[in-house]
Chain A
């Protein structure tokens, strides 16, 4: 079945780096735009970044521009988020989400379980 599994979260000091991964299975990963969405503890959802299916176009929320880099390896069916210069306000559960291409086109129709990133001294 369609599945997204995030990994790579953990506790990191401010200013340090972390790389998240999202392993996709059960669908043709290379056909889909993919997104990262985060949720700070007790807060709402915040879209973070998107990458086009071929990896040539990338978009970011202003608060992470210049610090985070989204990428993908279609040969490995894996999405990445490289997070540099981490700040306390980046503390959140990070979800990867698939953008639908037919039914529910362009909406987020599949989400991973999330991985927790805690930025703390």
Chain B
């Protein structure tokens, strides 16, 4: 199984500052036929289901503010929030959807400093 390891487990950032969350996969999640990494990022607010933010590691889902961005380097993936807003307080999860079983990172709790 592909193991997804997120860091940090929790993060406190001041409003307007940058937040960075990392996710590392234990093996490649790259489809060489289309050069796409099968890596998604989700935002989950308390009492709500996860919401898709980013797919193909770096493509924003419809309606997601452009302060959210994803990047990739081999098996290392990063979610960046360029200027933290109060409504961004949530738990963020990465997911690899290249292989079954699909596997999630353990989640990163983002709070306001």
Are A and B subunits of one complex? yes
A binding-site residues for B, Cβ under 8 Å? 35, 44-47, 50, 59-62, 95, 99-100, 103-104, 106-109, 111-114
B100 touches A104 (CB 8 A): no
Closest to A50 in B: B100
Contact B100 A108 (CB under 8 A): no
Q: Which residues of A lie under 8 Å from residue B107 when comparing CB positions?
A: 44-45
Contact A47 B40 (CB under 8 A): no
Range of interface residues on B (Cβ < 8 Å): 20 to 34
A44-B104 contact, Cβ under 8 Å, with A104-B52, A108-B95, A108-B97: yes
| Binary CB contact string for chain B from 79 to 113 against chain A (1 if under 8 A, 0 otherwise) | 00000000000000101010011111111000000
A-B pair count, CB < 8 Å, reads 61
- Are the C-beta atoms of A47 and B105 separated by less than 8 Å? no
- Interchain CA distance A35-B38 in the complex, whole Å: 16
| Cβ–Cβ < 8 Å partners of B77 in chain A | none
CB distance from B65 to the nearest CB of A (A): 17
| Nearest neighbor of B52 in chain A, beta-carbon distance | A109
B59 close to A (CB within 8 Å): yes
A45-B50, A45-B95, A50-B102 known, 9 other contacts, Cβ within 8 Å = A59-B100, A59-B101, A61-B101, A106-B38, A107-B52, A107-B95, A108-B42, A108-B52, A111-B50
